Structure 1
């Protein structure tokens, strides 16, 4: 197996031709942050292994693509379409190519699944999953609890009720599902491919703030002051909207004529 350091040394340019990248079974390899096009002679991901491709790579051309059982290629989110071309592909059961959107945060909304274009000139497969689901929306902020009321004195001041709790904020919307274009030979078994296009779930609504406690009663020399009631609890925020569903297009082409 070539280490990441060795790979970066030989593939620091825009395209890396005549190179082999092998991910050992049950291991993860992250490609270096190259940009644009990456060309490989052979790419192999072993059983339950994972290859992570940075957002700066927009296209990957592979002579021979081998994915073992439950192997995965993960593509980082980006607004740019990602294109994968393989002259020959052997895909074992549970193979997956994932380009899911990023989960939202308080500072950034959830992103859409990355648009994915895959062309397989020749392919032998058990099954394959293409996953371009949108990112999950960020949850809403919780409402603040109300402050407690202050008790009045026997000769001055008035009792005060507890302050109302604030409402929780609504959750943010989920990201939309991506667009998938799959180009395969005319005899390709399309029923062996599962495409996940769902938009991301909306974020949960923020929790309601609790009402503050009202001031308690107080006994005085000749009389007693009554306590004040507690503040009202706020309302929980609403869940964010689910992102829109993506789209899938299957394109079949005639096999190349033998030379």
Structure 2
């Protein structure tokens, strides 16, 4: 059975001071910069500014992705009735994290965050602040090792009960598409009927053609390397699952709220699907 209590402690490895290379731009920190955060270094800001000059809508993408998270969690913790969340590639903590959103709807929600970035590890305790009725835990693990993720998650989540697997802006760092499909398949095979998968992923479609040189620059000057995928390729992540309306769309267009009806369509697909 998973552990209980209002809060869990980091993994033993998390207790060791992580090694942070501030001279090389890293995705979690650059993303934080684009969102207006302060947990970044000069190298992150330089690369972030250069990429923004080549691909001016990247700030819109970052903000739309964050708003998608809020709407997806609102649906999952609300109408869908999910009480367990596995958030893989969570990134640096900011306002309205998964546990904030889920526990605002359902205070007894249990959340496991997964990331392998050392800067995220430094901020892990900011994530580990659950409401007394629920649990929030941080696990240091790599997306390329789904068995490790599942083993660690099972200490907190009951994998015999529905789980929402959140993979926002993370599968683009798995460069081989067949491997990425295999990772998603393994994760979804481990959770029962009634579970959900939420994905956002960059694309060169939806007006994203100018992202080609920007991604090339990123892969030369930052880490980890990234890739875009077509809508058809991204749809493959949902094979065997039932897409929730409106299906696979620009993440800005997935169930926008009244104040988001005029949101700019961004070159980042988003979708939520249910395991039958």
TM-score interval (norm. to shorter):
under 0.3
Which structure has the highest strand share of the two? 1
TM-score (normalizing by structure 2): 0.25
Which structure has the highest helix share of the two? 2
Of structures 1 and 2, the larger Rg is shown by 1
Q: Which of structures 1 and 2 has the larger relative contact order (alpha carbons within 8 angstroms, sep 6+)?
A: 2
